[in-house]
A and B are shown apart, each in its own frame.
Chain A
Amino acid sequence: ILNVEQSPQSLHVQEGDSTNFTCSFPSSNFYALHWYRWETAKSPEALFVMTLNGDEKKKGRISATLNTKEGYSYLYIKGSQPEDSATYLCAPSDLSNQGGKLIFGQGTELSVKP
C-alpha cells in the first residue's frame, strides 16, 4: 500500500503571497501522480496528471513539479487569492493493479485571507 504524505497539513496566507506544498510518496514502481483541488461542500477537481520525472505543469497561477526518483511533487501557487482557499490533494499510483490504484494523501488545507 502506498504511503502518501502531504505537508504542511494546513497553511494560512495573505492575499498576494506565493505558497507551495509537498507531496511525498514511495519512488519505487512509480506510475502516475494526480493533483486535485477540493473546495468545501464540493467534489475534488483535477488540476494535473503527471507521469514523467522532471514534469512541470502549469494552469494559470498554479504549477506543479515531479521528481519520481526521490519520490516527491511540489505544488506552487503564485500570488494567492481568496478563491484559492481549498484543500489540495495529491494521489500517486504505482505499477500494481494496472497502475489504477490512486491513493490520496490527507491534503494541505489552504486558507487565503483578503
Chain B
Amino acid sequence: DAGVIQSPRHEVTEMGQEVTLRCKLISGHNSLFWYRQTMMRGLELLIYFNNNVPIDDSGMPEDRFSAKMPNASFSTLKIQPSEPRDSAVYFCASSLGPGPRDSPLHFGNGTRLTVT
C-alpha cells in the first residue's frame, strides 16, 4: 500500500492567492483528518470526515478555509485568499473504522505551505 499521499510537498505562494492541498486516503480507510503544524500550536486538528461526511470542522480557522471529500478516497483543503499567517505544514491522515477506538491515524508526508 502506498500510504496516504499528499500533494504538493511544498507550496510557495503570494498573499491573496488561492491554495489547494490534496490528499489521497489509504484504500479502504473511511475517516479523514486534516491537521496543521505550527511552532506555536503544535499539531492542530482542522477538520475530520467520516464516510465522506464532515463531522467536526470547529478547528477550521475562518471562512477562508474549506475542505471537501468529493469521493471516498480523495480530499482537498482550500485556502482562499491565503495569508502569511497560514504558513505551516499541513498533514492529512486517514484511519480505518469510524473512530479512534478502532485504528490509529496514518499520516501523509505533509505539505509545507509558505505564503509571502
Show the binding face of A for B, using Cβ within 8 Å: 31-32, 34, 36, 42-46, 49, 51, 89, 91, 93, 97-107
Show the binding face of B for A, using Cβ within 8 Å: 31, 33, 35, 42-45, 48, 50, 55-56, 91, 98-110
The answer to whether B45 touches A49, judged by C-beta atoms less than 8 angstroms apart, is: no
The answer to whether A44 touches B99, judged by C-beta atoms less than 8 angstroms apart, is: no
Note all chain B residues with C-beta closer than 8 A to A31: 99-101
**Chain B, Cβ-Cβ closest to A92:** B100
B contact patch SS: strand
Number of A-B contacts (CB under 8 A): 68
Note all chain B residues with C-beta closer than 8 A to A100: 31, 48, 50, 55-56, 98-100
Note all chain A residues with C-beta closer than 8 A to B104: 34, 36, 46, 49
The answer to whether B100 touches A102, judged by C-beta atoms less than 8 angstroms apart, is: yes
CB distance from A81 to the nearest CB of B (A): 23
The answer to whether A43 touches B45, judged by C-beta atoms less than 8 angstroms apart, is: no
> How far is it, in angstroms, between the C-alpha of A107 and the C-alpha of B43 when the chains are bound?
10
Note all chain B residues with C-beta closer than 8 A to A89: 43
The answer to whether B100 touches A34, judged by C-beta atoms less than 8 angstroms apart, is: yes
The answer to whether B106 touches A46, judged by C-beta atoms less than 8 angstroms apart, is: yes
